[in-house]
Amino acid sequence: MCGIVGYIGENDCKDIIIDGLKKLEYRGYDSSGVALIGDGEYVFKEKGRIVNMEQTVNRDIFASIGIGHTRWATHGRPSKINSHPHMSYDNRFILVHNGVIENEVYLRDTYLKGIDLVSETDTEILASLMSVLVKSSCCVKVGIMEFMKIVKGSYALALVDTLDNNRLYAIKNMSPMIIGVGDEFNMLGSDVSCMIKETNEFVPFEDMEFAVIGKDDFIIYDKEGVVVNRDSYISELNSDDIELGQYPHYMLKEIEEQSSVIRKILSEYYDDGFVVDNDLLSELENSDRINIIAAGTSYHAGIVGKKIIETMSNKPVDVHIASEFVYNTPVLSDNPFFIFITQSGETADSRACLKKINQLGYKSLTITNVAGSTLSREATYTLLLHAGPEIAVASTKAYTAQIAVLSILAFCISDYEIDLYKELSKVANTIDEVYSLKNKIKDYAESYLSDTRNCFYIGRGIDYYVAMEAALKLKEISYIQTEGFAAGELKHGTIALIEDNVPVLAIISSKDTNLNTRGNVKEVESRGANTLVISTKSVSNESDEIILNDVHPLLTALITVIPTQYISYYAALNRGLDIDKPRNLAKSVTVE
């Protein structure tokens, strides 16, 4: 859940490394640092945001090699000492690390006896271990191979040897890392975004591989030292896609990109009919049960997807939280199919599940926003979200993209009577109309949520599933303790929490449950709750605060979620919080 950038070439890399780190700050932002290699070795690091570290960098240094890191703390509190890069005890190796080492105590006690360590991190152990192993073998390559044999855990490492300023080294296992290929330079990064300004050509790593990288070439090896030949790919990402433009925050930008995302998905998957890999559709049709595995917002999208798939295809679907499935695997059917939903394609919990599924020999699909990501490469099939980069930690457009792609998949394996192209186009137009309500929603957020410590969302059916996502979004960035509940469950315990002026926000889009949910609204009002109703036109009352135009009943989640995203955004804005980078959270959860 940290970000890494590396560069080797002809140019001064100070700004390249720092700018790349800024593009990765969504991965971690409690500290950062750079190591710059030129006429000497210079390390600058600082607690807090990248701008804090940037102010300490000596601008007079010319460095043609550099590595940088932005941290989300796992081992050791956020501090300057614990910040990366870390140096080996003899100052030979400088290293940055994303991941968690499982046998750090063993490594320290076995290989580093008598060596003083200054930080609380597992990374400093790796830096000094590398020096010990290289001294023993008299060769960096052999030292790295020995390193990979004895280090247990997840790691993406970029390191420099101060005795050789013509090489940059990288080692990968279970944490993302890719090479950026340039003209008279090469780069390393945790993802494409930190390198796209410099190059659009990339080569992915697989687990248990390492690379020796020069300015004009690079060689990838497996753990035995055998050369690995792998083709590069060209990214379609544009550097403009990751800029804020006129927006004050990425979250607001990404909320207001959702109608365009729906239209982009239609353009990618429709050509006189929806076009999806026939082999994938056959696997789905022949399976006896679909299992969706995801985490966080993607899990909530999966629950909506379950309703859509089961309604359209009459095929049973189970939805699993990834971190639970991998260690508490349920009894599986005879011929299951697995769908992994992940914005980044690097989610560690989901990847652990996919590895288990692959070992069992089952077929799988990854639905992701990132072409070439680990889950995409390791699953049998991939469907892309085409949502463009999502930078804000709180996911918005990935959620709607995931539901849209799941609806296309459901339609393609069913005989359900729906003009899905027309209905999704209507969704896009309706989302455009919601944007015009944002000032009104801003006022509601200020009125309902400025001072509250607690909040509840309620709904039934798909509205309940949206309530769960709405609650997650609000707690993520406003730090208001928020829960999403099935409205009918209020009387079974939750209503005990209702007291004067507690906000209860109801989502109502279904004719079947409209009156039931409105009855629940009256129940909480009678106990002092401050209620707000988000409804669709066909089931609305004149007193409802936010009324949206109707869409197909199976697709209501795509529109009712938009006001809740705005509510979260403005609630956090009113409280003066860091919307794009909420405390204790990082975008890509690449450690279990």
Is-contact 223 146, C-beta < 8 A? Answer: no
Would you call the peptide bond into 85 cis, given omega within 30 degrees of 0 as the criterion? Answer: yes
Of 491, 495, 455, 447, which is closest to residue 474 (Cα–Cα)? 455
Structure tokens of 587? 């975008």
> Tell me, what amino acid is at 43?
V
First to last CA, the chain: 10
179 Cβ neighbours under 8 A, 6+ residues apart: 170, 186, 187, 188, 202, 203, 204, 205, 211, 213, 218, 220
Q: How far apart, in whole angstroms, are the C-alpha atoms of residue 404 and residue 493?
A: 34
Calculate the alpha carbon distances from 201 to 163, 178, 220, 359, 514 in Å: 29, 10, 16, 32, 52
353 is an active site residue: no
Using alpha carbons, list the distances in angstroms from residue 436 to 430, 439, 548, 560, 563. 10, 7, 11, 14, 11
H-helix or E-strand spanning residue 365: strand 364-368
Q: Which listed residue (2, 353, 412, 455) is catalytic? A: 2
Q: Cα 583 from chain centroid? A: 16
Tokens 């695997």: give the residue.
329
The Cα 471–Cα 571 span in angstroms is 12
Q: What share of the chain is helix, strand, coil (3-state, %, to 5)?
A: 40, 25, 35
Strand, coil or helix: what is 589? coil
Longest dimension (CA), the chain: 79
41-47: strand order across its sheet? 41-47, 31-38, 63-71, 3-9, 185-189, 178-181, 201-204, 233-234
Closest C-alpha to 160, from 151, 150, 170: 170
In this structure, are residues 28 and 70 in contact, taking their beta carbons and an 8 Å threshold?
yes
Per annotation, catalytic residue among 14, 438, 473, 587: 587
Q: One-letter amino acid identity for 74?
A: T
The whole-angstrom separation of Cα 64 and Cα 13 is 6
Instruction: Answer for the pair 4, 96: CB distance below 8 angstroms, yes or no.
Output: yes
Any catalytic annotation for residue 412? no
The stretches of 218-363 forming alpha helices (DSSP H) are 250-255, 258-269, 278-286, 296-313, 322-325, 348-360
What tokens were used for 129?
Answer: 């271990």
Element (H, E) at 341: strand 336-342
Are 242 and 23 in contact, with CB atoms under 8 Å apart? yes
* Residue 254 to residue 271: CA distance in whole angstroms: 27
User: How far apart are the C-alpha atoms of 42 and 51, rounded to whole Å?
Assistant: 18
362 Cβ contact list (under 8 Å, min separation 6): 336, 337, 338
Are 525 and 516 in contact, with CB atoms under 8 Å apart? no
Q: What amino acid positions are annotated as catalytic residues?
A: 2, 587
